[in-house]
């Protein structure tokens, strides 16, 4: 299978699994209502955090070290053995303390749902190993089949159980889907054993710490919203952030293509110029996604969701801006990740997490949800600035910042026009943004075409000489 076809297969699997959840959203919101949907989102946030801890970055370690080993199977067996130890131990402890966990979580989600979630997370963590094996061996079709089977079984289970059992039914559907996925992947599970422990733990601790810091920045706020403002306000926020993140998946093909290549374009001045240009193009693509969220996404949610969730449409444009800056910080940081020890990345993560906690404790309770989202945009802009500063310190690149600043200015005007209910200005700002982003591409393509014609003419002239 060619690389392009492999990438296309992965894209189909990723998009299909996300579409199932988004397709069910209007039904689930209607069946659960804001209070129950808020409890569901509290469990989703808990699942995200526990997944980070249970997996301990071991799947990333498999991708990092498997290619360096003569006996890849030894790495796979050791990874599964370590996951069984870590995830199994944490699952047993968590299952025994479920009553305490229920009391500690905002909204006190149902006990049965908690038990189902913990079991699902344990099985899902174990599945990381066969899924990693399939990717390493380039068996994309089976990898995607396992993902799609899980999504479809879960979706069917939600439709059958959620109307009658609410949150308990959704968690039970997830558990059944996970068991089916284990069966599908059964023959690809290696025989577990303990080995390479120091290698996995040393690499995994950095991945886990980074994931937890990222969760504090985006993830933990859901518990704070539920505890401070109530489940009824958490529900529309959860829907809006889900759509903002889902829209950012449109940028995944660019990331899949660019991220493996970027460190190969830093050796010469011409390479660094190209790396800077491509990074800014990626940032501008995120501007186009944000523009789509503002102009189309918010209006779509008013039609797509029940009346109790229409507040999501008001939050979505601001969350789209927040995700836009978050994506830019992953593109303008080449120097930080080129640094061998990666200390700047960790320091920025710790500082950002501290700022996020300050926003949760001081902004959210005093000024409400929209002020909190505004502060979140400010935090993402601060992270972007820090990543850019340290990246330039370690590896200066000639980013065309004027072009990016113009795009961000047009996005600001578009957001202002949206909230002032002036659709005509929205259209004008969107067209200007598209023209401002597309024009340099067309200009560069025209220049390249002229250069090729000139080169062909010179070669022809030399031939006749």
| pLDDT single digits (tens) 367-387 | 999 999 999 999 999 999 999
According to the model, what pLDDT value does residue 448 have? 44
Q: Are 55 and 87 in contact (CB under 8 A)?
A: yes
Residue 57 — pLDDT band, cuts 50, 70, 90?
Answer: confident
Average pLDDT of the segment spanning 282-308: 92
**Own/partner pairs, 254-260, CB within 8 angstroms, 24+ separation:** 254/282, 254/285, 255/282, 255/330, 256/7, 256/10, 256/11, 257/7, 258/282
pLDDT, tens digit (0-9, with 9 covering 90-100), for 202-243: 878 877 888 888 888 888 899 999 989 988 889 999 999 989
Mean pLDDT of the chain: 85
Average pLDDT of the segment spanning 130-143: 82
User: What single-letter DSSP state applies at residue 294?
Assistant: I
16 or 274: which carries more pLDDT confidence? 274
Domain boundaries, the chain: 1-204, 218-445
pLDDT, tens digit (0-9, with 9 covering 90-100), for 392-432: 988 889 999 999 999 999 999 999 999 998 889 999 999 99
Report the alpha-carbon distance of residue 334 to residue 331 in Å, rounded: 7
According to the model, what pLDDT value does residue 456 have? 56
Average pLDDT of the segment spanning 128-148: 84
Per-residue tokens: 458: 């010179």
Average pLDDT of the segment spanning 169-189: 93
According to the model, what pLDDT value does residue 250 have? 79
Give DSSP secondary structure letters for 433-451: HHHHHHHHHHHHHHHHHHH
Minimal CA–CA distance to 17: which of 252, 221, 283, 216? Answer: 252
Q: Is the pLDDT reported for residue 47 higher than 90? A: yes
Minimal CA–CA distance to 250: which of 196, 313, 327? Answer: 327
CA dihedral 365, 370, 376, 378 (to 10 degrees): -110
Q: Is the pLDDT reported for residue 85 higher than 80? A: yes
Largest CA distance in the chain: 89
What count of Cα atoms within 13 Å lies in the side-chain half-sphere of residue 400? Answer: 17
Rg of the chain, C-alpha, whole Å: 24
pLDDT, tens digit (0-9, with 9 covering 90-100), for 322-372: 999 999 998 998 888 776 556 788 888 899 999 999 999 999 999 999 999
According to the model, what pLDDT value does residue 451 have? 45
- Tell me the whole-structure pTM to 2 decimals: 0.83
Report the alpha-carbon distance of residue 161 to residue 159 in Å, rounded: 6
Please enumerate in sequence order all residues whose Cβ is within 8 A of that of 411, keeping only pairs 6 or more positions apart, or say none. Answer: 287, 290, 291, 294, 321, 324, 433
According to the model, what pLDDT value does residue 421 have? 85
Q: Are 100 and 155 in contact (CB under 8 A)?
A: no
């Amino acid at each position: 299978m060619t690389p392009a076809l492999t990438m296309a297969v992965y894209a189909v699997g990723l998009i299909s699994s996300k579409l199932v959840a988004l397709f069910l959203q209007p039904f689930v919101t209607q069946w659960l209502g804001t209070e129950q949907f808020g409890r569901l989102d509290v469990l989703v946030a808990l699942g995200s955090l526990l997944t980070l801890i249970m997996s301990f970055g071991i799947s990333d370690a498999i991708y990092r070290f498997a290619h360096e080993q003569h006996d890849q199977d030894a790495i796979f067996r050791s990874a599964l053995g370590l996951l069984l130890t870590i995830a199994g131990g944490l699952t047993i402890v968590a299952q025994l303390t479920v009553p305490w966990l229920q009391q500690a979580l905002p909204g006190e989600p149902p006990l049965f749902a908690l038990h189902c979630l913990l079991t699902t997370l344990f099985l899902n963590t174990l599945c990381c190993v066969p899924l990693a094996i399939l990717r390493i061996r380039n068996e994309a079709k089976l990898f995607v089949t396992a993902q799609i089977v899980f999504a479809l079984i879960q979706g069917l289970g939600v439709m059958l159980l959620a109307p009658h059992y609410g949150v308990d039914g959704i968690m039970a559907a997830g558990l059944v889907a996970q068991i089916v996925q284990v069966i599908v992947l059964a023959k690809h599970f290696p025989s577990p054993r303990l080995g390479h422990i120091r290698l996995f733990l040393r690499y995994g601790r950095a991945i886990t710490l980074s994931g937890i810091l990222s969760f504090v920045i985006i993830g933990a706020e859901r518990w704070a919203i539920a505890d401070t403002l109530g489940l009824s306000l958490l529900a529309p926020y959860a829907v809006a952030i889900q759509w903002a993140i889902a829209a950012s998946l449109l940028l995944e093909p660019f990331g899949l293509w660019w991220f493996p290549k970027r460190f190969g374009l830093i050796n010469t001045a011409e390479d660094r110029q190209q790396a800077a240009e491509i990074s800014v193009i990626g940032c501008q693509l995120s501007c186009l996604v944000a523009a789509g969220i503002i102009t189309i996404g918010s209006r779509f949610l008013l039609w797509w969701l029940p009346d109790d969730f229409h507040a999501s449409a008001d939050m979505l444009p601001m969350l789209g801006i927040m995700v836009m800056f978050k994506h830019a910080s992953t593109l303008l940081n080449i120097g930080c990740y080129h640094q061998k020890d990666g200390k700047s990345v960790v320091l920025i993560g710790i500082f950002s997490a501290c700022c996020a906690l300050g926003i949760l404790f001081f902004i959210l309770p005093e000024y409400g949800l929209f002020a909190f989202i505004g502060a979140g945009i400010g935090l993402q802009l601060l992270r972007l600035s820090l990543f850019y500063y340290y990246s330039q310190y370690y590896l200066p690149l000639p980013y065309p910042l004027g072009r990016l600043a113009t795009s961000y200015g047009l996005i600001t005007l578009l957001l202002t026009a949206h909230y002032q209910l002036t659709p005509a200005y929205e259209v004008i700002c969107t067209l200007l943004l598209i023209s401002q982003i597309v024009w340099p591409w067309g200009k560069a393509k025209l220049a390249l075409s002229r250069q090729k014609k000139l080169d062909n003419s010179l070669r022809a002239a030399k031939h006749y000489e």
